[in-house]
Amino acid sequence: MRALPGKFARIAAFVPVLLLSLAGAACSADSMFLLGDACVSCHLTCERVTPEISVVAWKKSVHFRPDVTCSACHGGDRYLALPFKKGHLGLPTEAKAEASCGSCHEKELADFVYIRPRSAKNGCKAGCVSCHSYHNVQKAGPELVSTETCGACHSADKARPAIEAAAKLRENRDGLLALLSQRRQAGLPVEYYENELVSLDKKTARAFHASGMTGLATALSQGPEKEIAELSARLAGDSPAGFHAQGVFVVLLIIFALIVLAFTFRSLPKQGGKR
């Protein structure tokens, strides 16, 4: 790609980026960071990647933020449309893409690549983008384990146990979130459960990255599944209904005591006192 003069590129980038930013600004002020972005100015208007437009797809993803712009994975400089020899990678190789992912998601990459290295006989041939996509990256969760994602490499029979285990995990997690929502609406403290959920999500991610397709179902049932069940049981026991039931009991006890005292008082002789 022939490099445009920097100053002209910045000015030329302004118009489509402004249009994109204004559209984005109606929903979020975050898209103002796109002003002056040279990558977006070309790739929004002269798009070669099909079926999805990369910039539009990236805008819908969780990576649509100032610190994960195009140059994070494709190299170069977002403000100066640089040629390949000056750092622009174009379409990165698998290894370079993984290195980009690992620059932020270090632990996840370590779990995925080093525990089951690709060079090993049973190593996973997929990379990060095989499951997480490249532009339209969504928040990771059990819903990624699906026929659509796993079926790209694995047969239906091999993928089924993992897909079913992930679906069950998702269902139980949704149930846990519903209980948490009830508790939050009742004004009860939820921080403990929210922290546990974050920790659980990290363990779930680790189970996904560190297990193969055959081991995933077992890893989920022995780890996150059990923890979700324990957390749900604790949350069910700690429910708003339980808290309110305690309140009803205490208040009724006090009312009963008041009634007893009132009857005792009524039975006392009215007259009395020497002075």
Partner 1 sequence: MRALQEELATGSTPAPRVPADWLAFTGTAIIALVFVQFATGVMLFSYYYPHVAKAFSSHQAIANEVPFGFLVETLHAMGAKMIVALAFLHLFLVWWHGSYRGPRARIWYAGMGLLLAFLVTGFSGYLLPWSQQSFWACVVGTEALRAVPLIGGGLVWLLRGGENVGQPTLVIFYLCHVLFLPAAIVTLLYFHVKWVWKAGVTGPSDTTARPDLDKCLGCKACSLACPFTAIQMIEVSGRKRPALNEDACNACRACVILCPASCISLRGPEGAVRNEPLWPHAVLRRIMASLGAVGLLFFSAFFLHGLFIAGKTPADPLLTPDRIKPDWYFLAPYQVLKVLPSERWGLAVLFLLTAALCALPALDPKGLRDPARRTVHRFLVKAAAAGLIVFTIWGYLS
Q: How many CA atoms lie within 13 A of 131 on its CB side?
A: 23
Q: Is residue 275 near partner 1 by the rule CB under 8 A?
A: yes
Task: Kindly state whether residue 236 participates in binding partner 1, applying the rule CB under 8 A.
Answer: no
CA distances to 108, 236, 256 from 105, in Å: 6, 34, 60
Q: Measured between alpha carbons, how far is 86 from 71 in angstroms, rounded to an integer?
A: 12
What does the chain come to in residues?
275
User: Of the ranges 29-37, 76-84, 164-172, 240-248, which one interacts with partner 1 (CB under 8 A)?
Assistant: 240-248
Task: Provide the b/e sequence for 153-191 (b: ≥16 CB within 10 Å).
Answer: ebeeeebebbbebbebbeebbeebeebbeebeeeebebe
Q: How far is the CB of 233 from partner 1 (least distance, A)?
A: 17
Residue 233 touching partner 1 (CB under 8 A): no
What is the 8-class DSSP label of residue 66? T
Distance CA 8, CA 82 (A): 13
Angle at alpha carbon of residue 242, lines to 236 and 248, rounded to 5°? 170
Q: Which residue do the tokens 């205490």 mark?
A: 250
Q: Which is nearer to partner 1, 22 or 253 (CB)?
A: 253
Which residue lies nearer to partner 1 by CB, 183 or 209? 183
- By CB under 8 A, what part of segment 161-190 binds partner 1? 186-189
* 270 near partner 1 (CB under 8 A): yes
- Nearest distance in Å: CB 243, partner 1: 7
Q: How many CB atoms lie within 10 A of CB 26?
A: 9
Closer of 236 and 250 to partner 1 (Cβ): 250
Q: Out of 19, 22, 49, 255, which residue is the one contacting partner 1 (CB under 8 A)?
A: 255
Contact range with partner 1 by CB under 8 A, out of 93-101, 154-162, 204-212, 243-251: 243-251
The SS3 of residue 161 is helix
C-beta of 157 vs 191, nearer to partner 1:
191
The sign of the torsion formed by the CA atoms of 102, 106, 108, 111 equals: positive
> What's the burial of 221, exposed, middle or buried (CB within 10 Å: 0-12/13-18/19+)?
middle
Q: How far apart are CA 212 and CA 145, in angstroms?
A: 12
Contact, 73 vs 92, CB < 8 A?
Answer: yes
Does 273 bind partner 1 (CB under 8 A)? Our answer is yes
Which region, judged by CB under 8 A, interacts with partner 1, from 108-116, 136-144, 198-206, 246-254? Answer: 246-254
* Residue 241 within binding range of partner 1, rule CB under 8 A: no
244 touching partner 1, by CB under 8 A? yes
Stretch that binds partner 1, among 108-116, 168-176, 211-219, 257-265 (CB under 8 A): 257-265
Q: Is 250 in the site for partner 1 (CB under 8 A)?
A: yes
Residues 96-135, one symbol each (x = binds partner 1 by CB under 8 A, - = not), give: ----------------------------------------
Residues that bind partner 1 (CB under 8 A): 186-189, 191-193, 243-244, 246-248, 250-251, 254-255, 257-258, 261-262, 264-265, 268, 270-275
